[in-house]
Every structure is written in structure tokens, then in C-alpha cells.
Amino acid sequence: MKTTISTDKAPAAIGPYNQAVEINGLIYTAGQIPLDPATGKLVDTSFTDRVHQVMQNLQGILEAAGSDFSKVVKTTIFVTDLGQYADLNSVYAEYFEHEAPARSAVQVAALPMGTDVEIEMVAHK
């Protein structure tokens, strides 16, 4: 059975999708961009601040689903400039202190709302 995950610790969906769904003990998050869930506005300070906001949004979703970063098995990262890869990695590593999940990082032409980073995750409960 598929269960929809929703929390106010992450921004509301800006389209016809859910923050996450769970099926058979696996949690699939929607891609998260650096929207502040309190204001609904993009974080407009530094790239590292935006990555932190994305990770905080994902953390809120995982917690609402009964999971956490230690249970993430795969992430997919989309950025508009792989030149920021080192900054991305430094922030990302803070959230995976022990064993990092499998990961893909892809440079794309554009992302929703004009941001430069989006991350999605698959985790287990």
C-alpha cells in the first residue's frame, strides 16, 4: 500500500506531486529545492546556504516518514553548475557522518523557480 508523506517542516508542493510517498518500507522524496518552508521563498544567500536548506527540507520529510539520513540508500542531486561541486560535497558530507548512500550528481540547464540545486532521496524506514 502506498502512503503519502506530508509535513510542514518542508515546503508545500509547488505542483501536482507529494513531498514523499512510502511503499513497501521505502520512502521516495520529491526533489527539494531551497525553499524556506516558513515563508515559501527561495533562500537567496550563498550556494552553501541553499544546499543546507534543501537538506533541512529533506530531513523534515524523512522524519515525518519515520526515517532519517542514516537510512538513505540513494540520492540524486541536480545542479546548474558542477563548478560548485566542492561546496556541495562539503555541506552534503555534514549530513552523512557515517556511511554515505549511493549518489548521482548531474548538471542541468535549469531547475524550478530559477534555483541552482535540487536533491531527491530514497530511504527505508
Cell numbers standing for residue 120 = 531527491
Could you report how far apart the first and last alpha carbons of the chain are, in Å? 15
Neighbours of 43 (CB within 10 A): 20
Q: What is the pLDDT of residues 81-124, one digit of tens each?
A: 999 999 999 999 999 988 999 999 999 999 999 999 999 999 99
Q: What is the pLDDT of residues 8-56, one digit of tens each?
A: 999 998 889 999 999 999 999 999 999 999 999 999 999 999 999 999 9
Give domain limits for the chain. 2-124
The verdict on pTM exceeding 0.85 is yes
Angle at 66 between CA 99 and CA 72, to 5 degrees: 25
Q: By three-state DSSP, how is residue 44 classified?
A: coil
Dist CA 100 CA 75 (whole Å): 10
For 2-124, CATH gives: 3.30.1330.40
